[in-house]
Amino acid sequence: MFRRALVTGGAGFIGSHLARALLGAGLEVVVLDNLSMGKVENVPRGAHLRIGDVRSEADVRAALDGVDVVFHEAARVSIRASIKEFFADADTNFMGTLNVLRSAAGSGVRRLMFASSMAVYADSPTPDPIDENHACEPISPYGVAKLAAEKYCLQLAREMGIDCHVLRYFNTYGPGQTFTPYVGVITIFIRRLLAGEAPTIYGDGEQRRDFVHVSDVVAANLLAMNSSLGSGVFNVGTGRATSVNDIAALLCARLAPDIRPIHLPPHAGELRYSIADISRLRDTLGYRPRAVLADELDAIIAHHRDDQSSA
């Protein structure tokens, strides 16, 4: 159906896993990444890396040569940082997306998958799964930019004759996630525990999240690419709630049973409850998340051990 894919942010965590899967599915793959967070070594063998920025029309147009399907993964991914650095956040996550749309106009692109986020939603009063009709009232600049970009993608892609699927990722985890102090609580906790340091929990730790493995996020993208639907908005998660305290307990038990987490005041802009109702993705596209959090932790720990030992 499709021959050549562009993965923006394809040298990053989710993008590199996606690029590898697309190659495995027989597509030619172009990766566009400015390497601000991504790494050259993440780009799978066989993919063509173009070092460039999604905010540059020339870079995106060059990367789109011969492309018929786009996976727009490139983003600044930090709710906390988006508050202090709101301009930079919007410049990449909103204006960068508009540039991808502008550059795709009149090209050979027939389908666009846009990586959105659970951050577009309003906080939920209970730890029950929320569907795609839940109120979209973001409490962070990151969520605001993602929601605005969603609306532009859905409206303008239709005008351009491009199919568009918006995938709202919940808390994605897995091997290869770049360590930062702001993103990926599982990665952050593992790195601290491997260094003999206590994990830091902001708030009481009873905030609950839907942790979805990167392999399931990739599977959702491939289902969207191959679907007969012209457009759609889908939650990508598991439907299961896990507290931050639960994550800390699981990791401490594996890595440092004598260490106890440190609690600090909560951060602004972060949702208390965020669990996906995945029935639309399941019933419409046949999505079935396969990874189980507790079963995946050892592989992630081993990845970070290897990463630290080679540093």
187 and 109 within one domain: no
Residue with tokens 């993919």: 47
Percentage of residues of the chain with pLDDT beyond 70? 97
Same domain, 146 and 180: no
CATH number at residue 252: 3.90.25.10
Q: What is the pLDDT of residue 291?
A: 95
pTM of the model: 0.95
260 and 116 part of one domain: no
Domain range holding 303? 174-208+240-274+286-309
Tell me what pLDDT residue 216 has.
98
pLDDT digits (tens, 9 = 90+) for 121-142: 999 999 999 999 999 999 999 9
The Cα diameter of the chain in Å comes to 60
280: in domain: no
Residues 56 and 133 in one domain: yes
- Same-domain check for residues 187 and 290: yes
| Domain membership flag for residue 159 | yes
**Number of domains into which the chain is organized:** 2
> Does any domain span residue 98?
yes
Residues tagged active-site: 142
We report the CATH number of the domain holding residue 29 as 3.40.50.720
Reading phi first (left if > 0) and then psi (alpha if -120 to 50, else beta), residue 19 is in alpha
pLDDT in tens, 228-273: 999 999 999 999 999 999 999 999 999 999 999 999 998 877 889 9
| Structural domain includes residue 279 | no
Residue 281 belongs to some domain of the structure: no
As to burial, measured by CB atoms within 10 angstroms (0-12 exposed, 13-18 middle, 19+ buried), residue 116 is: buried
What CA–CA distance (Å, rounded) separates 258 from 260? 7
Do 179 and 119 lie in one domain? The reply is no
